[in-house]
Structure 1
Amino acid sequence: MSIYKPEGMMIDTLSNRQAFRSLSCLQEAFTQGKILESRAVVCDSEHNLIVDMGCCRGIIPRVEGALGIAQGATRDIAIISKVNKPVCYKITGFSTHPDGAPCPILSRRLVQEECTREYIMKLTPGDIIDAKVTHLEAFGCFVDIGCGIASLIPIDAISISRISHPRDRFRPSQEIKVVVKSLEENGRVSLTHKELLGTWEENASLFSAGETVAGIVRSVEDYGIFVELTPNLAGLAEPRDDVAIGQHASVYIKSLIPEKMKAKLIIVDCFDAQYQNTPVNYFIAEGHLSRWQYSPPCADRIIETIFD
């Protein structure tokens, strides 16, 4: 299991908490070259990050705040946006504050360089890894895949059921699983998520014809209304004039047809509601995928992802 976790996943571990018990514990962490994590509380006027270390406050100088800051490849918003959030770092030395209090000197950049070298560059397509949602854009979901290093899940790779915005599926700071789709020459990692949410058969097995179940309206077309039953299973209901995208629905399942990968539905009721997103149900949550086939063996067409 990798020690290079997304920021925020290490802060409450026993090993991490023990490092902040005293100055001597911090000295020991420095000697061992240990990766620590705690909350950034201030970004000063020179864009240095001040970090709460329990027995004292440390400083991450601006150029040590993130990979690429010194070269101008990374904007300072990458530092400013970390205030009031956990950050990882190594202690590189000790100084003193103007009032005489000890001041550990810290580097987040060193941790990110090590994470890139020892973890990210060793990933292969198909690897299932931890990630943490950082922010959402219309085109996709940005996640931290280790020590604050960002990667993107394109919106069409989030689930089989199409969504209008990643916020329909995720929230900031949510811990999720992702699959490495490819590694680019510049070190960027391309991610996907839908392969972890189950095949058509796995999702369809959760339902039976004749049941009335909960759903979410994802698309309204002239020929019918697509209602999501799970993130990787949607069905088609007959057209109605009183239905809008994003509404919740109760739907009657007329039939499930594996060879056509179809679920035929009847909308019983449709309404506005502000339910929280349900926790992600992963059919696969660890290990490695060489190939994933969504479609059943009897289906008329094959939907698959090849990783190796």
Structure 2
Amino acid sequence: MDWQFKSPELWAFLKSLHPGEILSGTVAAIEQFGVFVDLDDGPGHPTFPGVGFLTIPELSWRRIDTPTDDVEVGQRVSCEFLDFDTYNAEARLSLRVLQHDPFHAFADRTVVGQALRGTVVRVLPFGVFVDIGDGVVGLVPFKKVHGRPAASPPEAFQAGTEISVVVTAVESLHRRVFLSRPEEL
């Protein structure tokens, strides 16, 4: 659809926005794929409930299962403008960039070889994801690490179980933490 001709006011508004700009609005609708935001200074959208849109990863630094874990319809939000989605004629927004990123504090205080306790949040064929606190989740892979198995077979783990782990790598650039089981080191 050629939004430039269908809604020139909307197109002009979106083109006037700059990355990093802070926009305020009200959560207009929540879907499984993201959140629509009715922006205070923006025109209405001819198709969607709001001109602004938040994808699931842009809601929070922590892992969430559903958008309603973080926002609700009618809630006031302030978001950072990321970019202009010309296909859908909407402002792509982020809530998380305005929040403290717990990963940086974790990376600053954690060293390889450090023992931690965590809770298994998900077991997948390639490894176990473990919540090690402050919204940081690390991976205990089932493949070999440095020639040794990193974890027991998948059947040995259940979501919700607290386990001991050892940090094997912290990749700050990619926001990843790799773990191993202490008895398998």
- What TM-score range do you get, normalising by the shorter chain? 0.5 to 0.7
Which secondary structure state, in structure 2, belongs to the residue aligned with residue 167 of structure 1? helix
Partner of 1:138: 32
Counterpart in 2 of 1:157? Answer: 58
Question: Which of residues 166, 170, 180 in structure 2 aligns to 1:254?
Answer: 166
Distance 1:259 1:236, change over 3 A: closer
Structure 1 residue 195 corresponds to structure 2 residue 97: yes
Equivalent residue number for residue 224 of structure 1? 127
1:201 aligned counterpart, secondary structure: helix
The residue aligned with 2:158 is 243
Contact persistence 1:131–1:143 (CA under 8 A): yes
Q: Distance in 2 between the 1:221 and 1:168 partners?
A: 23
Change over 3 Å in CA distance of 1:225–1:161 after alignment to 2: farther
- Alpha-carbon separation, structure 2, partners of 1:167 and 1:206: 31
Residues of 2 paired with 1:253 and 1:130: CA distance? 41
Instruction: Give 2:79's aligned residue.
Output: 178
Residue type matched to 2:31 in 1? E
Identity of aligned residues (%): 23
The AA in structure 2 aligned to 1:142 is: F
| Cα separation, 1, equivalents of 2:54 and 2:123 | 25
Q: CA shift at 1:173, angstroms? A: 3.6
SS at 1:258's partner residue?
strand
Taking structure 1 as reference, are residues 265 and 130 closer, same or farther at Cα in structure 2, changes over 3 Å only? farther
Q: CA deviation at 1:189?
A: 0.9
Q: Is 2:17 aligned against 1:123?
A: yes
Aligned AA for 1:224?
Answer: G
Structure 1 residue 137: deviation in Å? 1.1
In structure 2, how many angstroms separate the alpha carbons of the residues matched to 1:235 and 1:123? 36
> Over aligned residues, Cα RMSD in angstroms?
4.0
Is this contact kept in 2: 1:201–1:258, CA < 8 A? Answer: no
C-alpha distance in 1, partners of 2:79/2:109?
23
TM-score, structure 1 as length reference: 0.36
Give deviations 1:37-74, integer Å, cap 9, x for gaps. xxxxxxxxxxxxxxxxxxxxxxxxxxxxxxxxxxxx9x
Secondary structure at the counterpart of residue 170 of structure 1:
coil
Higher relative contact order (CA 8 A, sep 6+): 2
> 5+ residue gaps in structure 2?
1-6, 45-49, 141-150
Equivalent residue for 1:204? 107
Quick one: structure 1 residues 189 and 254, their matched pair in 2 at CA, closer, same or farther if it must change by over 3 Å?
same
Using the TM superposition, give the Cα deviation of residue 200 of structure 1 relative to its aligned residue in structure 2, in angstroms: 3.7
CA 235–165 in structure 1, closer or farther in 2 if over 3 Å, else same:
same
Please report how far the alpha carbon of residue 140 of structure 1 lies from its aligned counterpart in structure 2 after TM superposition.
0.9
